[in-house]
Structure 1
C-alpha cells in the first residue's frame, strides 16, 4: 500500500485549512483592511509589466532585503527574506532541530511554531499562559532549561491574545534560556516596541517580521533578522529563489515609500481605538487589551455568536477550548466593517447573555 511510505509521526496531522474567503466582512485573518492606493497600484503595474519572466529571481532578494533593513534600522547582511514569515519559521526549525529535539512555546500562541517543529521531527513543549493570559517569565525560563529545548518561539505581541511581554522580560528570556530564542514581531507596527536592536548583543536571538499585516498579505513576504553567525547557518537551509520576482518587486516599491505603511498602520490604529470603545460598551463582552491589529473578546457562547455572525456573512476567529474557550479574535476592519460587526454582535450577545 502506498500508505506504507507515509511518515507515521504525521498520521494524526490535519492539513491547514484557511477557510472560505467569500464572506462580506472578513475579520478572521488579521489582514489589513486597506488595499494599496491607485497611484501605487499603477506603479506596481508598470513594474510587473517590466519584469523578466524567463529568468530566476535574485536568490538573495537583495534589493528588498536592503530596503527592509533600512525600514527596520538594521544592517542588510542581517536580513533574510522568506515566502512569508511562515517559511522563516520553517527554515529555523530545519536548521536547528534534530529528530526528537524540543522546542518551547507559550500556549496559546501562533500554531505554526508547533506545526513546523513537528514536521522537522521535533517536539513542541507548551507552557500555558495564566488565566489572565500572562506569561510567567521565570517559570517559562525554568521549563525551557529543564527540558533542554533547542529553540524558544514567542510572538510579541501574542497571536491570538494580543498581549505583550515587556522588553525587560524579553531580555530575561534571551539571557536566561540556554537555546536559540525567536521573537516573532509580526504585529510590531501596532505595538511600537522591538528587540531587533539586540541581534548583535545576543548570539542566540532571531527576530521575525512580516509584511502581511501592513497591507501586503497577498504577496507573501516575511523577514528573518539575526546576527552574522546564525545567519550563515540559516543560509545552509534556505531554499534558493524562495521569494519570487513579482513579490520582490512589489515589496521593493512599497518599502521605497514607507509612508504607505505608516498611513496604513495609522488608519488601523484609529479603527482599533474606535472598535475597542464600542465593544467596551456592550454588556457581556470581556475585552483583553490588544497591541495588535485585532482584539480578543470573551463572550458567554462564542460558538453561537460566531454562527450568528456568519449568517450575516461576517467572519471572525473563534476558540472553543482551553484558556480561550468562548473567545473571539476580531481583526480590525474598516469603519463600515466594524459598524457591521457591532450591529450584529450586539444582537448576538443580547440573545445569549
Structure 2
C-alpha cells in the first residue's frame, strides 16, 4: 500500500476537492456574491477603522461586541446567543464534529448544499440524501420515513434551498422537526435570508432541537468569511466547545462591527437585488427553450429545454463568451440540463442575457 492509502481514510480519498474556477476576465455570476461595493465614504471610514486594529494581538475569543451587534441587527430572539464561524462552512464542520458519535448519520434533502455531505464524511458520519419532488418541493412523507429509519443526529433544511432557490413549505419543516424530536438536531440554513424575507429565527423558542444558521456572505460581505448560528443555550454551549478559540480574525471582527453600524446600506443592496432578480427572471422566461424556477435567493435556477441543446453545451458556449455561471446538471438527476446564475448588477445581468440569448441561438 502507498503512503496515502496507509494514512488517509478511504472516504476522504474518494472525495473530490471543492473546486473554485478562475474567474479572471469573466462576467462572474457563479458564486451568489453581492455585486455591489460599499459607498466611497464608508470605504474611507472602514479604512480608518481597520488601520487602528491591533494586528499583533489575538482576538478576544468571546467576540462579545460583535455577537451583541449580530443579535440586535438580525433578529435573534431575547435570551439566545450566537456562535460565530469562519463562514457557514466552519459552522457546518463544528456541528459535524460535535455530533460524530459512532454510527451517527446526517440527513438532508437532495439536491442541496454540497458541504452538508462533504462535512459529514470528513467527520466520519454517514450521509443520507432524500430526493426532493420533481418541482423541488420537500417530499415530507419520504423525509419522515427516512427520519424514522435512520434517526439522524443532524438534519439540514436550507431555507431557501441551494441550488434550487425555493423555500420549502414551513409546515412540512415543522413536521420534520417534530419527527426528529430529541434524538437529533435540525439545522435551518438561512444563508439567503436577505433575499427570502422569511425566517425561522424568531421561532427558535418553539423548537429546542432547532438551530438557525446564517452567513453575511450573501448580504455583501463574502470576503470577510463570517457565519453565525443560534440555538437553545445548552445546545449552543456544546457547539461552542468545538469552535477554535480564535476562529474569527481581528480584521473580520472589526469589519463586521463597522458594517453592522451601517446595515441599512446592505439592506438597500438586497432590495436592489430582489428587483434585479424579478427583471432577470422575466427576461429569461421570454426566451424560447428556457424554464425558469421560482427563487427566493439571489440566484435563479434555469433548465434548458430547447431541442438539441443541453445545459452543459450552453454552459461551454457562455464560457467562450467570457460569462461564468454554474453548471449544476451533474449534481443530481433532478437537475438535468439545469444551470444556476447569480443575480448581478444591472449591467452584469444585461451582459449575461446578451451572451445567453446568443449561445441559445447558436
TM-score (norm 1): 0.96
Deviations 1:11-57 (A, max 9, x none): 21121111112143110000001111111111110111000011101
Match of 2:98 among 95, 99, 108: 95
C-alpha contact (below 8 Å) 2:138/2:169 kept by paired residues:
no
1:99/1:120 contact within 8 Å kept: no
Q: CA deviation at 1:149?
A: 0.9
1:37-85 deviation digits (Å, cap 9, x = unpaired): 1111111101110000111012122222111101122247521111001
- Does the aligned pair in 2 maintain the 1:28–1:329 contact within 8 Å? yes
2:224 corresponds to 1:224: no
Aligned equivalent of 2:272 = 267
Which of 115, 118, 121 is 2:121 aligned to? 118
Residue of structure 1 aligned with 2:290, choices 285, 288, 313: 285
- Preserved CA contact (<8 Å) 1:98 1:120: no
> 2:148 and 2:245 mapped to 1: Cα distance?
34
Q: Which residue of 1 aligns with 2:69?
A: 67
**Aligned mates of 2:208, 2:226 — CA distance in 1:** 25
The ranges of structure 1 where at least 4 consecutive aligned residues each deviate by more than 6 angstroms after the TM superposition are none
Instruction: Report what 1:306 is aligned to.
Output: 315
Of 138-147 and 177-186, the range deviating more from structure 2: 138-147
Instruction: State the match for 1:21 in structure 2.
Output: 23
Is contact 1:23-1:315 (8 Å) kept?
Answer: no
1:259 aligned counterpart, secondary structure: helix
> Does residue 315 of structure 2 align to residue 315 of structure 1?
no
Matched, 1:148 2:151: yes
Distance 1:21 1:281 in 2: 28
Residue number among 162, 165, 168 corresponding to 2:168 in the alignment: 165
In 2, distance between residues paired with 1:177 and 1:76?
24
- State the SS of the aligned residue for 2:325: strand
Structure 1 counterpart SS, 2:230: strand
Q: 1:109 maps to which residue?
A: 112
Runs of at least 5 residues in structure 1 that lack an aligned partner in the other structure: none
* Contact 1:25/1:313 (8 A) holds in 2: yes
Aligned to 1:343: 354
CA distance in 2, matches of 1:145, 1:53: 50
Matched, 1:332 2:333: no
Higher deviation after alignment, 50-59 or 197-206: 197-206
1:283-305 CA distances to partner (integer Å, 9 max, x unpaired)? 10001100100000000411111
Question: Equivalents in 2 of 1:143, 1:106: separation in Å?
Answer: 10
How far is 1:122 from its partner? Answer: 0.2
In structure 2, which of residues 121, 137, 141 is the aligned counterpart of residue 134 of structure 1? 137
Q: Does 1:81 align with 2:84?
A: yes
Q: CA RMSD in A?
A: 1.3
5+ residue gaps, structure 2, are none
Compute the displacement of 1:238 (Å). Answer: 0.8
Instruction: State the Cα deviation string for residues 211-250 of structure 1 (Å, max 9, x = none).
Output: 0001100000110111101011111111101000000100
Task: Indicate if the aligned counterparts of 1:65 and 1:76 stay in contact, CA closer than 8 A.
Answer: no
Task: Say how many residue pairs are matched.
Answer: 351
**In 2, Cα distance between equivalents of 1:339 and 1:110:** 28
Cα distance in 1 for partners of 2:116, 2:79 equals: 26
Distance 1:93 1:248 in 2: 24
